[in-house]
Structure 1
């Protein structure tokens, strides 16, 4: 699903925004990172992303920092990984995760607007085709009757 031309990036953005937001809320509430990762993993609707978070959680449990663990999986957007790395270095991971979630949410909204903008001309063409079929269904019998009379 993630490799589909239009919908893949949309699905990735939607899932990573939800993941970052959940992780930010749980981290801000004082939940330990490993538990927060497990809870945030359950919000993901894509199996590939869920598996990546599971593997990243195992690496974090071994002592690797979160940004490096997610970077190795090569699935998550670079903006998320960079903001997580920045949050880890400055000791302010939850605010950076919230910023990542907001950035990814804005990106999703922009993509959704772009997709609807692409669908509008397509809908006009489809409606034109429907009108053409209706007009032809009305005119063809009239033309046939006219030819029979002559």
Structure 2
């Protein structure tokens, strides 16, 4: 104890660990463990290596979260406010509503849900004896989407001129090119790839030929409300199937996302060690 009293605490700790191991192993007599402890305690060296890009990215993300954690809830709030501001203008609302209808996976659910709701609303109004022009105005207000509102407006104008419902429904169910919609595809979907996908899907109609044909048959036979009910029932069933399928896909999708995040962190932490071992060898 007197010999160790004047030494630093970390040296006394190393000596204590050496003594414990000496009691349990064959190195006690030769003092080999203390030699290893002394080498570990006093010798050091520096190796200059560049951190991998994944590790640098992980460190930057960690530093940002620690230093600017208060900005994390502000990001979705800023995005929401920006969308609300853009939708205040007619052209901006048209772009956002078109983007919502064309976005992958969720767009089909929104589109089919609107078709089912508007078909059932129009069928109910026609069956109740409401004049067709007034029924179209009410249905347009219940759609909640600029693309469908534009389509029902054109149908309203065509009927006032003596035309049928099916022809303008087919003609004006195709969204027009919108710069705001292209911007949303570029930002939220994947840059140039998202913009390319939008250009390929831009001319897809929001109302299928099935709906147009059933409406045409309903007008010719005088059973428009019955055909609209059948359209609504069909699309309600499709929405239910899509929603159930999407719900079942959420669990494996979350597992894949979380697994990718954990894998990224583990690889980013071990890459410097691998680089150091290669440098030492």
TM-score, with normalisation over the residues of structure 1? 0.80
Per the alignment, in what secondary structure is the counterpart of residue 110 of structure 1?
A: helix
Decide which structure has greater helix share: 1
Which of residues 62, 65, 72 in structure 1 aligns to 2:164?
65
2:121 corresponds in structure 1 to 22
Q: What is the rounded CA distance, in whole Å, between the counterparts of 1:40 and 1:120 in structure 2?
A: 37
2:137 corresponds in structure 1 to 38
Q: Is the 8 A contact 1:19 1:44 kept in 2?
A: yes
Deviation of 1:128 after TM superposition, in Å, equals 5.3
Task: Identify unmatched segments of 5+ residues in structure 1.
Answer: 137-150
Which structure's CA Rg is the greater one?
A: 2
When the two chains are superposed, the root-mean-square deviation of aligned CA atoms in Å is 2.0
1:9 corresponds in structure 2 to 108
1:145 corresponds in structure 2 to none
Residues 1:102 and 2:233 are matched in the alignment: yes
Per the alignment, in what secondary structure is the counterpart of residue 215 of structure 2?
A: helix
Q: Map 1:82-97; keep pairs closer than 5 Å.
A: 82-97=213-228
Per the alignment, in what secondary structure is the counterpart of residue 102 of structure 2?
A: coil
Q: What is the rounded CA distance, in whole Å, between the counterparts of 2:104 and 2:119 in structure 1?
A: 23
Residues 1:119 and 2:218 are matched in the alignment: no
1:56 corresponds in structure 2 to 155
Q: What is the rounded CA distance, in whole Å, between the counterparts of 1:77 and 1:9 in structure 2?
A: 12
Q: Which has the higher contact order (CA 8 A, sep 6+)?
A: 1
Per the alignment, in what secondary structure is the counterpart of residue 43 of structure 1?
A: helix
1:143 corresponds in structure 2 to none
Q: Deviations over 1:66-93 (max 9, x none)?
A: 1112011133222211111111111101
Q: Is the 8 A contact 2:170 2:212 kept in 1?
A: yes
Moved over 4 A (4+): 126-130
Q: When the two structures are aligned, how many residues end up with a matched partner?
A: 134
TM-score, with normalisation over the residues of structure 2? 0.44
Q: Deviations over 1:50-77 (max 9, x none)?
A: 1111111111111110111201113322
